[in-house]
Amino acid sequence: MASFKRSDGRKVNELRPMTAKVGVVPNADGSALFAFGDTIAIAAVYGPRLLHPQHMQDPKQATLRVNYDLLSFSVYDRKKPGPSRRSQEISKMTEYALSPVLDLKEFPSTVIDVQIYILQADAGTRTAGINAASMALAHAGLPMKNLVCSVAIGKQDTTVVADLTKEEEDFHEGEGATDFPLAKIANSDQFTLVQLDGNIATELVAEVLEMANETCAEVYEVQKKALKAGATQ
């Protein structure tokens, strides 16, 4: 549907301009920033380090502990600081999205802490957070199978579009808006996160996954470039 006009004039499969950088948190073992347009996420990785309380330690492998949160000034109405139902869910889901690429068995009984903070939110914060966290884990020198790339595909009425903004998420014409965040292991067809908020016709899911493959390749190039640039600093 070439006739569909997006509110910011992008093509249906066009992502917002991405920026990425590593080494943004000097005191962390690894850190990264990732932005999709006005959505900015920073991630800091600490560890492997001692896990307390001790009963949470897993003698078989390291524990991955993600904490995602919106900073209070990142949204229009001030976000009350601290964990919420939403941020706890996204933290858990980010853990599931990242752990398949990590070699956790190398560091038994320890914890790898990942802190993800959203500096500015304009939809797609969890995907920006996963992209930043994946770069930060690599930057922390941890053994990984590959990077994780994440992108939110969505639907405006009946048109599948990539990387929705907040304005697009609040679209109410026709079938309304659908949000379909995905994460996958780079250069493979293994998805580590598939979420769906809204309605979508079964036939369109194939189109969504196809678009995710295409756009994740772009995300991967940005992540790779930032990591390589970060090494020579």
29 binds other proteins (CB under 8 A): yes
Q: For other proteins, which is the closer residue by CB, 166 or 224? A: 224
Q: Which is nearer to other proteins, 15 or 147 (CB)?
A: 147
What are the CA-CA distances from residue 65 to residues 57, 92, 178 (Å)? 12, 8, 29
The yes or no reply on residue 199 touching other proteins (CB under 8 A) is no
- Say whether residue 56 binds other proteins (CB under 8 A): no
Q: Which of 33, 147, 160, 161 binds other proteins (CB under 8 A)?
A: 147
Decide if residue 142 touches other proteins (CB under 8 A): yes
Cβ nearer to other proteins, comparing 13 with 110: 110
Specify the DSSP element, H or E, that contains 114: strand 110-120
Contact status: 209 vs other proteins (CB under 8 A): no
CA separation for the pair 86, 148 (Å, rounded)? 22
| Gap between the Cα atoms of 176 and 62, Å rounded | 42
For other proteins, which stretch binds (CB under 8 A), given 155-163, 172-180, 191-199, 225-233? 225-233
Least separation in angstroms between residue 127's CB and other proteins is 19
Minimum CB separation of residue 154 from other proteins in Å reads 27
Q: How far apart are CA 200 and CA 198, in angstroms?
A: 7
- Residue 47 tokens read as 């560890």
Q: Of the two residues 158 and 187, which places its CB atom closer to other proteins in the complex?
A: 187
Separation between Cα atoms, residue 67 and residue 56, nearest integer Å? 16
What would you report as the CA-atom Rg of the chain, rounded to the nearest whole angstrom?
Answer: 18
Positions 61 through 100 that interact with other proteins (CB under 8 A): none
| Span from 22-30, 35-43, 68-76, 207-215 in contact with other proteins (CB under 8 A) | 22-30
Applying CB under 8 A, among 111, 132, 151, 216 the residue interacting with other proteins is 111
Conformation bin of residue 157: beta by default, left when phi > 0, alpha when psi is -120 to 50: left
109: nearest Cα among 66, 56, 45: 56
The answer to the question of residue 13 lying near other proteins (CB under 8 A) is no
* Whether 86 contacts 68, CB under 8 Å: no
When binding is defined by CB under 8 A, the residue of 65, 108, 190, 191 that contacts other proteins is 108
Q: Are 181 and 169 in contact (CB under 8 A)?
A: no
Which residue ranges make up the site for other proteins (CB under 8 A)?
Answer: 23, 29-30, 46-51, 59, 101, 103, 107-111, 138-147, 185-187, 223-224, 227-228, 231-232
